[in-house]
Structure 1
Amino acid sequence: MCRLFAITSEDPVSPMVALEALDVMREGHDGSGVGLFLRDLGGPFETMKDAPILSGIFTEAGLRRLDVKMMEKGFITKYKISFKLDKTPPAGVPKRDVYLIRAYEYPEDWEDWSWERKQAELTKIRLELRAMGEEKKDMIVFSFWPDVIMIKEIGDPLTVGRYLKLDANDIQARIIMAQGRQNTNYAINLYACHPFFVQGFSTMTNGENTAFIPIREFLQKRGFQGYMGFNSDSEVFTHILHYMQKELGLGLEFYKHIITPLAGEALSSHANADLLTQLKHSCRRLIIDGPNCVIGSLPDHSLFMVQDRKKLRPGVIGGRPGVFAYSSEICGLDSAIPDRDKSKDFQPMYLDTAIVGPDRQEVQICRQTERLHLPH
């Protein structure tokens, strides 16, 4: 199993808060890797919310190739973080040339583009850079998106965070998602490390999705370039979330109805039975098999947690107005928000979608049995 932790806060916090929470849950992960997703950034990125930020790991040769490519496309560096690393990485952490976090100015000819067009082009560029890196093994590109930073590395999460000096660098965010990894593969591919990200949508999962093959086949036929990679059976949770909102135009309360639809009397007696029956039929290839606990983030800065029917992966939510955290274990909450009212901690069951909205004032519970707010 892995361990998950996420926090949403009115005030920006350091990624070390999340890594310290993972550390107290270390019995649930073996320290083989860590993934961080940060959005709604603070610090120097506070004033450049629209600037696309490139996150990844590069060799010196790969960085030179990147610079040539980005100059050809008209991107100019606006701000970058320079990691001052010890000469020798700690045990278990590979030696890298460059950890890159760089914000860019858009090319001049993008000035009048719609956001939809920019999204498509940013996705295309990220995939081009990823392909370049896979060809020569000199680039690993995690994200290229405004107000988003992603960091992934092999090694113990807290050790990696200290090595990268994440508490000292100008990296803070109001939303942080972190996964402490347990290696289930013989070789670790950082593209298989959670969280995953597509056009403003991100998820991470503790569990396994044995329905991966039919889901992958369905997504590959949608014609969207971002549904690719599939280095992890959990990556499709991000793709399904994106497909639901961007292609189907449905809200988050429909997510569970797609991945774990109701059946029998619960479906036939539902207030929206006709719609949900149609949705279940048309998206039947997206039904998951678990066990899975999924934490995700939306472009509007909502944070959510869902469980599948087997409910065999732990998950709990707690906090107070202004700051809430999602954790695989209560000790993770205790580490990050020790002064909360613990009597209000909530563990979602398989019918629940637990959501903290962008106002960060409360945990909202949406149950699959409730009447849905239909899209216009």
Structure 2
Amino acid sequence: MCRLFAMTSETPVSPMIALEAMDVMREGHDGSGVGLFLRDLAGPFEEMKDAPILSGIFSEEGLRRLDTFMMEVGFMTKYKITIKVPKTPPPGVPKRDIYLIRAYEYPEEWDSYSQAELESELLKTRLQLRAMGEAHQDMIVFSFWPNVIMLKEIGDPLTVARYLKLDRKELHARVIMAQGRQNTNYAINLYACHPFFIQGYASMTNGECTAFTPIREFLLSRNFPGYTGYQSDSEVFTHILHYTRTRLGLDVSAYKHIITPLQDSDINNHPNAAFLKQLKHSCRRLIIDGPNCIIGCLPDHSLFMVQDRKKLRPGVVGGRPGRYAFSSEICGLDYAVPDRDKSKDFQPMHLDTVIVGPDRQEVSLCNQMQPLPLLH
């Protein structure tokens, strides 16, 4: 198993809180790597929320190729954080040249684009850069999106965080997701490291998806450019979330009905029985086979947690108005939000979707037996 931790806070916080909470849970992960997702950024990025931010790892040659490509497209650098590290990395951490976080001005010809066109072009650009990097093994691109930073690396999470000096104020954020990756299914590859992200949607998973192949084939058949890669079976959870919201137009409460639909007998007694029968039939190839605990983030900065029917991966949500955390273990929650009312901690079961909205004032609960909010 691996371990998950996410936080949403009115006051921007250092990502070190998440990495230190991960360290409290270190018995649950093997220290093989760490993935970090930051959103609703503070510091210098707060004044440029609409500027796309490129996050990745580059060799010196890869950085030169990046600069040439971006200038040809018309992107101009607005702000950057270049993390140059000591020549000798800690044990277990690969030697890299440059960790780059760079915000850009859009090309002038993009000024007339609609929001949908901007999102499409940003996705296209990220995929082009990823392909360039894979061809020459000189760049790894994690994200290219406004108000989002992603960092991933092999090695012990806290060791990596200290090595990269992630306590810097420029990286403070109001939404943080972190995962200590245990490499159990595939060769180590940073594109297989959680969290995963596509066009405003992010998720990370503790578990495995043995139904990966039919899910991947269904998503590939949608002919959407972003449904690609799949270095990890868990990446499909992010893409199903994106598909649920952007292609089906459904609320996050319906996400659970797609990945873990109700039994037929329960559907027959549901207020939205006809709709759920059709949804289960048409999306049957997206049904997961766990065990899985999934934490996700929506474009409006809401965080949510769901469990599959087997409920064999731990997860708990708790906090106080203004700061809530989602954690694999209560000890991680205790570290990050010690001043909460612990009696209100909630461990979702297989029918539940737990949500903390962008106002960060309370924990909301959706149960699959309740009417769907967009349909009743």
TM-score (norm 2): 0.99
Aligned residues: 376
For 1:314, the equivalent position in structure 2 comes to 314
For 1:167, the equivalent position in structure 2 comes to 167
For 1:113, the equivalent position in structure 2 comes to 113
Partner amino acid for 1:171?
A: L
For 1:364, the equivalent position in structure 2 comes to 364
> What is the DSSP-based 3-state SS (H/G/I as helix, E as strand, rest coil) of the residue aligned with 1:219?
helix
* Uncovered stretches (5+) of structure 2, i.e. residues with no partner: none
Question: 8 Å contact 2:272–2:375 — kept in the other structure?
Answer: no
> What is the DSSP-based 3-state SS (H/G/I as helix, E as strand, rest coil) of the residue aligned with 1:30?
coil
Q: Does 1:178 align with 2:210?
A: no
Does 331-340 or 85-94 show the bigger shift?
85-94
Partner amino acid for 1:79?
A: Y
Q: Does 1:36 align with 2:36?
A: yes
Partner amino acid for 1:102?
A: R
- Counterparts of 2:186 and 2:107 in 1: how far apart (Å)? 42
C-alpha offsets along residues 69-113 of structure 1, whole Å, 9 cap, x if unaligned? 000000000000122423321111111000010000001111111
Question: 8 Å contact 1:61–1:138 — kept in the other structure?
Answer: yes
Q: What is the CA-CA distance between 1:179 and the residue it aligns to? A: 0.1
- Counterparts of 1:195 and 1:270 in 2: how far apart (Å)? 33
For 1:103, the equivalent position in structure 2 comes to 103
For 1:233, the equivalent position in structure 2 comes to 233
For 1:50, the equivalent position in structure 2 comes to 50
| Segments of 4+ moved more than 6 angstroms | none
C-alpha offsets along residues 208-244 of structure 1, whole Å, 9 cap, x if unaligned? 0000000000000101100000111100000000000
Q: Does 1:213 align with 2:237?
A: no
Partner amino acid for 1:200?
A: G
Partner amino acid for 2:247?
A: E
- Counterparts of 2:353 and 2:32 in 1: how far apart (Å)? 30
For 2:147, the equivalent position in structure 1 comes to 147
Question: 8 Å contact 2:14–2:169 — kept in the other structure?
Answer: no
C-alpha offsets along residues 331-366 of structure 1, whole Å, 9 cap, x if unaligned? 000111111111110000000000000000000000
- Counterparts of 1:350 and 1:32 in 2: how far apart (Å)? 29
Identity fraction in percent: 75
Q: What is the CA-CA distance between 1:149 and the residue it aligns to? A: 0.3
> What is the DSSP-based 3-state SS (H/G/I as helix, E as strand, rest coil) of the residue aligned with 2:335?
helix
Q: What is the CA-CA distance between 1:265 and the residue it aligns to? A: 2.0
Q: Does 1:158 align with 2:165?
A: no
* Uncovered stretches (5+) of structure 1, i.e. residues with no partner: none
- Counterparts of 1:185 and 1:266 in 2: how far apart (Å)? 34
- Counterparts of 2:75 and 2:25 in 1: how far apart (Å)? 41
Question: 8 Å contact 2:85–2:98 — kept in the other structure?
Answer: no
Q: How much is the aligned-residue C-alpha RMSD, in angstroms?
A: 1.0
Question: 8 Å contact 1:205–1:234 — kept in the other structure?
Answer: yes
For 1:191, the equivalent position in structure 2 comes to 191
TM-score (norm 1): 0.99
Partner amino acid for 1:178?
A: A
Partner amino acid for 1:5?
A: F
> What is the DSSP-based 3-state SS (H/G/I as helix, E as strand, rest coil) of the residue aligned with 2:44?
helix
Q: Does 1:273 align with 2:273?
A: yes
